[in-house]
Chains A and B, each alone.
Chain A
């Protein structure tokens, strides 16, 4: 199953529900394009919901890092929501779990952006 992503707005946060495979090729370029598009619209608070991501490879991990950098460079924040065990383990192995702000609860994740904004 290739990657699918839908975007919804919750308060000031752009929530991207991602499903399928984030791997070399279409999945990665789709995600890159989507992040670029959101930044172009001035949306700098991005929450990637990875609950339905079945597979992510080293290129996909690189794409998450790339998205994180792109959003941070614009003064925004990119956070992750609802990692599957496979994705969680990958981020642990690669030590990226220490880089990303990861949440299990969407409402709390949204709230964390608002707190960050006021800070």
Chain B
């Protein structure tokens, strides 16, 4: 799978559509790892991006698509000059991000779940959640690139081999 140059924006893009299964979490992480390397992220930022992708795909598979393997998770990684932008979309019913309880509130500290979106927000520079009618929820995550890490501008570095169809 290749990062494709996007002439209009001057960015490089890779899109994948994965079957909505938990084993594809590692596939998504692997793609994220490759994209981070191409974007020139250091180890610490790459770990944060991989973690954010890991958590967002878990959310898409479990909460969005309700573990229905007939549904899909769509991912788009786009490297701009100043940022890496990642979008993860499920085929669920969407959710209200403002209704999520604060996992750091004293009364929620000992809850077993509910930290996924919180970690994504902690690890990425910008996070947006949109509910797209008929398409489910789409999480957009941005990691800014510093000047030293701008190694890739519309190139065609080889990425992780996909297990999916390109949408």
Bound-state Cα–Cα, A65 to B111, Å? 7
Bound-state Cα–Cα, A69 to B118, Å? 22
* A residues in contact with B110, CB < 8 Å: 65, 68-69, 99
Name the interface residues of A9-34: CB closer than 8 Å to any CB of B: 23-25
Name the interface residues of A53-110: CB closer than 8 Å to any CB of B: 57-59, 61-63, 65-66, 68-69, 86, 90, 93-96, 98-99
Bound-state Cα–Cα, A21 to B155, Å? 33
Contact of B115 with A by CB under 8 A: yes
- Per a CB cutoff under 8 Å, which of A24, A57, A59, A94 touches B103? A94
Name the interface residues of B106-146: CB closer than 8 Å to any CB of A: 109-113, 115-116, 118-119, 122
* B residues in contact with A69, CB < 8 Å: 110
* B residues in contact with A63, CB < 8 Å: 112
Contact B109 A95 (CB under 8 A): yes
Q: Size of chain B's interface in residues, with CB distance under 8 A?
A: 19
* B residues in contact with A66, CB < 8 Å: 112
Closest Cβ neighbor of A64 among chain B residues:
B112
Q: Size of chain A's interface in residues, with CB distance under 8 A?
A: 21
Contact B118 A94 (CB under 8 A): yes
* B residues in contact with A95, CB < 8 Å: 104, 109
| B83 → A minimal CB distance (Å) | 22
- Per a CB cutoff under 8 Å, which of B47, B104, B115 touches A58? B115
Stretch at the interface among B51-59, B69-77, B90-98: B51-59
Closest Cβ neighbor of B54 among chain A residues:
A57
Contact A94 B104 (CB under 8 A): yes
Residues in B lying within 8 Å of A, measured CB to CB: 22, 25, 47, 51, 54-55, 58, 103-104, 109-113, 115-116, 118-119, 122
Residues in A lying within 8 Å of B, measured CB to CB: 23-25, 57-59, 61-63, 65-66, 68-69, 86, 90, 93-96, 98-99
